[in-house]
Structure 1
């Protein structure tokens, strides 16, 4: 990862960067002894964990004021900044969407993947929010895209960000990284702040299991807002979400009248399913709808695949194809492929035209508002209005004002800081 011999002794650049001792220490020291877990988790290590807490305070010392930009979240603990960050390194859409929501979209300098692909997804939703946008033309792509998850440490030095809005456990799982690398970047460039495993409540590497915590999407969004000094903006945005969720939940049909639903990805003749009611923010747009998971009682999961015949045995009423809005899949074309297959064409979701593009599981708060609305219309059109359909590459479809489940103008004003 390059010659780092001069970096280890480089002075810390961020004057007020503090990690919660108990949380961070346990993970880091364990990380020095080894790491495990899946490909999205890792451990961290450090050599300057604590400051002297035994020094005698000066008789004339005054209380240090609480920093205006400070928040806490596992696995990092507490992070404090001198000033609001003017440059933010981001890996996933989850945090890019949060940055935009709190007025920091212009501070984002990177994404973990092709910026156009992720930017197009955000554009599709932001098109319906007047004045909200995300300029991704000059963002640095962190992942080399070479078939492995590889991010060069040198990039973080080149970007010279004020904040790395990403989970250090995720970074430590990248090829070529170890706990010392993660801590080095935190000390010499900027702190980490993020949480990845809350997506599916996956098990982090063994060295992090005693310190890791799981949060909802809106919990994470609130903590990020606090770090940005934007708690009031978050509260207003969360109120929109809570009001919409209350409206949806109060109008759901009885459980016996709800459809069976399969969430999946189709690729090269194979179906890759996931469970819609499992915990984690990946399901934050589906789980609240209370539908019956078509794979209940099966061994469906991220490691299981289905062919046409097996899926027909399940035969869900509704199929939601993930990453379907301005993302990686042309769902209309996929539907045609499945319908042309002699077995696939027998699926009830195909015959009844209930094969829909679904949302991006790596969703931030603004995305979540649209994806909740979309899923409610797809599953319960008689309660929330018909889903108007979607053409690949287009923005999120225009919904008549009287059929919208949340107020676009209100949300746009919140993002602009006008409400």
Structure 2
């Protein structure tokens, strides 16, 4: 590792904050560039000196920079356990992904870790008492260790990422709840059960989003973000201005297990109303919109059950993974308002994510879940790999 990338990264991250601090101290805006450079140069010298001292006696694996954090044991044993299983995966490209691993056979309690891959370089996050959440942040995949208590008022929340300089484990700072969010922030309902939270990887912060929506946040490339809400019912909510204003539409007045899929351009939207009965969950109604929700068509011949969340594409079609009661799940293509069996068969997927260029999901075979199925041709052909 060289000094130049570290200095560049520190400059980009710290210049604005230092300038604001100096201004609050009474210095005019005309002077901060020179003063900030001096402060930044001194700070950089100290940081690099500490890094060099730390790395001089390091082992073969790159050191983990903790800023600050209380790390657990190394997660290598969990990931490499013969009984470990994949519990989460997020792929940005074929060579940029994050995967959560679970080992429930090595002791009285389960153990959890995560692997992050960045262009062929891989790093393993420390063990954590609860499962890691994997997220997409811009052009990289990250792993987040949620608070053990399940709230943002107790224990720590950690973020694990892999930079060009090596792995970094950072404690996420809790901020007060807000009703708005920025374009570069990440929305997720998997860190705190029953709530949508906002993760800001650049600022290393996390906060609760104050909105009546509680699940399934999806943001398309136009900047519109879609979510689901409702108790004993399902409503679709969307905002075009980061939560300042909202629009909504009812999906199901009797159940709260609806699902939504949105294409990257935001024009194709697929909604599914799901009822619960003695034989399990059943798709009661599926609707498709190809004009950003302005008009809707009821999908004909929809499968009776869904095994994974659907995917919507820019061409007005959608892909489903489901079937009838007792049937082994198959791929269905929704085109022109009709669902038909599609080509390709990836296996039993617990999840389905991605877009037309890269679709993926981890398998749930009869024994253990150790592989992720990947398709780059909208499900026509599939390949598999173990994300560790």
Q: Tell me the TM-score normalised to structure 1 length.
A: 0.29
Greater relative contact order structure (CA < 8 Å, 6+ sep) = 1
More strand per residue? 2
More helix per residue? 1
Q: Tell me the TM-score normalised to structure 2 length.
A: 0.31
